[in-house]
Homo-oligomer: A and B are copies of this chain.
Amino acid sequence: MANFEEKTLESKMIYKGKVIQLELEQVELPDGKQSTRELVRHPGAVAVIATTEEGKIILVEQYRKALEKSIVEIPAGKMEKGEDPKQTAWRELYEETGYQAGSLELLTSFYTSPGFADEIIYIYEASELKKGEQQLDDDEFVTNLELSFEECEQLVKEERIHDAKTAYALMYLKLKTV
């Protein structure tokens, strides 16, 4: 298989934030020419698809500043330094919804946007849920929803569910049952 490796000639940190970093890399292309790559570094994230005993899917609605609107997603969050993705999954489900998962199974993972970012998302399926209280971060405002699969599909049609991890996790569940 081809490789086409791009060798880094120079790397420049443009911005180091609390969520992402932006780096510019001057690279040597396979033909010897040069180009610049704009690279967003992200710590990676975890998303959790959890179904209640009543067969409802647990969702969160929150305002996404990047989109300037509220969308409906499965619970998710970025990994803290040194945190195992499974720990993140347990923590984020608990913080955003109050549910404590008795069991967490890794379904899949994917890179969200490999053209410019290294972000990877691990998707876990949670079961054996115990309901407690939401524990949100200071800058987090989240409403919980519990919807049937059919109601979720309706939100996909209306584009109120419109993000990669949520749509992907719902399709994954559907493929398990067909």
Interface residues of A (CB under 8 A from B): 1-6, 14-15, 17-20, 22, 24-25, 27, 29-31, 33, 35-40, 42, 45, 61-67, 70-71, 73, 76, 78, 108-119, 121, 138-139, 141-143, 159, 162-164, 167-168, 171-172, 174-175, 178
Of B35, B163, B171, which one neighbours A172 at CB under 8 angstroms?
A: B171
Report the Cα distance A141→B4, complex, angstroms: 7
Of B33, B38, B119, which one neighbours A17 at CB under 8 angstroms?
A: B38
Tell me the number of copies of this protein.
2
Name the residue on B nearest A3 (C-beta): B70
Closest 10 pairs between A and B when the two form their complex, measured CB to CB = A2-B143, A35-B139, A4-B141, A4-B63, A164-B164, A64-B114, A37-B65, A112-B113, A17-B38, A112-B112
User: How far apart are A108's CB and chain B's nearest CB, in angstroms?
Assistant: 7
Given contacts A110-B167, A175-B178, contact A22 B33 (CB under 8 A): no
